[in-house]
Structure 1
């Protein structure tokens, strides 16, 4: 039975699931009625952060064009350009036991590709969620449904895995950003041209 979280809640992941080392983080969404004539492409991205809350290098930014990070411990499985269909729209596999020691937080985000240019925002998106499953059993362990109405934001930090006393926990964040991926990347210490 999955633990269902609300914004701001934190929960143990590895302590309550002894032996768990490999997880799949799935994100999903539905696009509401949209007739602006452009594709509506949402992307999940992952930032591997050190103690200071920043990436240590460009390789700590994992997305569809840089699918592996953390010495192969974090793997993005691919880009879904439409969000059509049931189930997860994009997934990231995390091997918790092999995440480099300097990585303290693994932050999961969803952004709208070219959202500002296409006049798109998360007010046009519904049923967004993030969930964590055991890679071995497929069992859903944690789920966070983002029920908030993000009317003008083009990027959302949905949640993060973080180390705490040699265990991994998950925090449901649900923070919206204007400025899309570039704004997020800047906050996390990356320069995107």
Structure 2
């Protein structure tokens, strides 16, 4: 049975799921329906803004630092050098039900020098397009056990993120030989992924 987490809540992944190795991290969101203006707007209803959100992963060492660009997994670098983290590709609009982007994580293959995975989402070209997360709704992150394809946990981001162009969504981290998950849900007004990564450099 899937567990619904609240912001700041932590949960042990491997203690409660012995033998857990391969997981799928799914992230999803929907564009907010815009109210159309003018005469025709009343006839044809609202439209959805095309907001291109990108999910990425920062692979951090024990000092919460990114050692190299290879440890940033995103649409331009889909697979970590060790092969333990693989991004399944970019979704340009966020339309449709279910996960918009998926990231495969093999916990058993993560190198010992990596202590934490930080999952972030940012809006591509947010400044140029004058877009922010107030234009997004129903955002979530969920974790699925690949072995039995069952959802283990879900965190719905229900806060108001208007004016924010990046989100630190969640973390998977080592703790006393176990892997744990924390629901973060913090907004960032930085311009893009590069600026967000500077927090860990």
TM-score (norm 1): 0.94
Q: How many pairs does the alignment contain? A: 189
Instruction: Give me the whole-angstrom Cα distance separating, in 1, the residues matched to 2:150 and 2:85.
Output: 19
2:63 equivalent to 1:52: yes
Instruction: Give me the whole-angstrom Cα distance separating, in 2, the residues matched to 1:38 and 1:134.
Output: 33
Instruction: Give me the whole-angstrom Cα distance separating, in 1, the residues matched to 2:78 and 2:26.
Output: 15
Alpha-carbon contact 2:173-2:181 (below 8 Å) kept: yes
Unaligned runs of 5+ in 2: 37-46
1:69 shift after superposition: 1.1
Moved over 2 A (4+): 33-39
Cα distance change, pair 105–154 in 1 and its aligned pair in 2 (3 A): same
Which whole-Å deviations, capped at 9, do the CAs of 1:99-128 have from their partners, x for residues lacking one? Answer: 000100001011000111111000110000
Structure with more of its chain in helix, by fraction: 2
- 1:111 maps to 122
Instruction: Give me the whole-angstrom Cα distance separating, in 1, the residues matched to 2:62 and 2:185.
Output: 21
2:197 equivalent to 1:185: yes
- 2:40 maps to none
- 2:142 maps to 131
Helix, strand or coil for the counterpart of 2:128?
coil
- 1:78 maps to 89
1:138 shift after superposition: 1.0
1:182 shift after superposition: 2.8
- 1:94 maps to 105
Helix, strand or coil for the counterpart of 2:30?
strand
Which whole-Å deviations, capped at 9, do the CAs of 1:123-145 have from their partners, x for residues lacking one? Answer: 11000000000112110001000
Cα distance change, pair 40–139 in 1 and its aligned pair in 2 (3 A): same
1:70 shift after superposition: 5.0
Alpha-carbon contact 1:70-1:99 (below 8 Å) kept: no
Aligned match of 1:169 in 163, 177, 180? 180
Alpha-carbon contact 1:177-1:183 (below 8 Å) kept: no
Aligned match of 2:167 in 148, 152, 156? 156
Query: RMSD across aligned C-alpha pairs, in angstroms?
Result: 1.6
Unaligned runs of 5+ in 1: none
- 2:6 maps to 6
Helix, strand or coil for the counterpart of 2:163?
coil
Instruction: Give me the whole-angstrom Cα distance separating, in 2, the residues matched to 1:158 and 1:40.
Output: 18
Instruction: Give me the whole-angstrom Cα distance separating, in 2, the residues matched to 1:26 and 1:89.
Output: 7
